[in-house]
Amino acid sequence: MSAKKIGILVVFAAVVAAFYFLDLGSYLTLETLKANRAWLEDLRDAHAFNFAAAFVLVYIVQTAFSLPGAAILSLASGAIFGVFHGTLYVVAGATGGAILAFLVSRTLLRDWVVEKFGGRIEGIDRGLRENGLSYLLFLRLVPAFPFFLVNLACGVTGLPLRTYAMGTLVGIVPGSLVFVNAGASLAAVESASRVASPRVLGSFALLGLFALLPTFVKKWKRRRSDHWQEEGGATMSLRDRIETFNASRGRTPEVWAIIRKGIDDVRAAGAAGLSIGERAPDFVLPNQRGEMVRLGDRLSRGPVVLNFYRGVW
């Protein structure tokens, strides 16, 4: 590991240690917020821009380091800034912090995350590979999935950063709005846990299912295509069946022309590769859990399909 990566890990460890050593969590309570609301509003009036920027920065740090206090910070945002600006600041801070956690997980903590959460990550990884943005929205909307775990899990998958950022930005808006709106009426809030009532959580679950609607439609179309191939595809040649399969996935002839041109360009450049029918050399590569997998061992169990996606296999 490079000195730069070690330095970043030391900083992360120092921030987390300072939070618990200084007992900063004791200040992130509903009682403390109510007692200091007037003072915080005075600071907002005296230093509007700096105070808002500092709040967003605090929220980024809280999210990036997976520290407790997100609910209280969201309530505070509504109480101090109002519903519109409060939601804007919460979404900006939470998205920024989630992106930092994603990048740290992908670049520095990949092995640790896979080792610690490997069993819980497998399902998330499979859902993201198959459905991408729709599944990420589902994860963000349904409260059954811890926010910090989704941040870390997405970092060790092949999910593009752009898709992750967009899904997080959109997916956290409903939950943020609920807490910020409750904070705007802070006097009526008895506890942060009561803000997320069963009715509210049920609404989020329904939104999550709605986000998966494109996935359900895609699976339905795939089943129809598979059924059609079982009915009339047995008499088709392999090439015709492949072309039918590709057409059912929305790959137009123009797209395939571009792909074939790229393959021809690589061959023309003299790149070495296997031809059809050649025997592949034995090799070892790490899987999504960091375990080393040998091609020969897999072939002994049956056919092997090796898939590369954005540089990760």
Whether residue 253 sits in one domain with residue 179: no
Residue 204 has pLDDT above 60, yes or no: no
In a domain, 220, yes or no: no
Q: What is the mean pLDDT of the segment spanning 117-142?
A: 77
- Please provide the average confidence, as pLDDT, over all residues in the chain: 79
In a domain, 227, yes or no: no
Whether residue 7 sits in one domain with residue 114: yes
- The structure's pTM equals 0.63
In a domain, 225, yes or no: no
Whether residue 245 sits in one domain with residue 158: no
Residue 244 has pLDDT above 80, yes or no: no
In a domain, 230, yes or no: no
**Spatial separation of the C-alpha atoms in residues 69 and 88, rounded to whole Å:** 18
Q: What is the pLDDT of residue 48?
A: 92
Whether residue 111 sits in one domain with residue 132: yes
In a domain, 221, yes or no: no
pLDDT above 70 coverage of the chain, percent: 73
Residue 211 has pLDDT above 60, yes or no: no
- In the chain, the number of structural domains is 3
pLDDT tens digits, residue range 42-83? 999 999 999 999 999 999 999 999 898 888 999 999 999 999
Whether residue 87 sits in one domain with residue 46: yes
CA distance readout (Å), 3 to 9, 109, 110: 10, 15, 17
Residue 195 has pLDDT above 70, yes or no: no
Q: What is the pLDDT of residue 142?
A: 76
Q: What is the pLDDT of residue 188?
A: 65
Whether residue 254 sits in one domain with residue 192: no
Write out the residue range of the structural domain in which residue 307 sits: 280-313
Whether residue 301 sits in one domain with residue 155: no
Whether residue 257 sits in one domain with residue 199: no
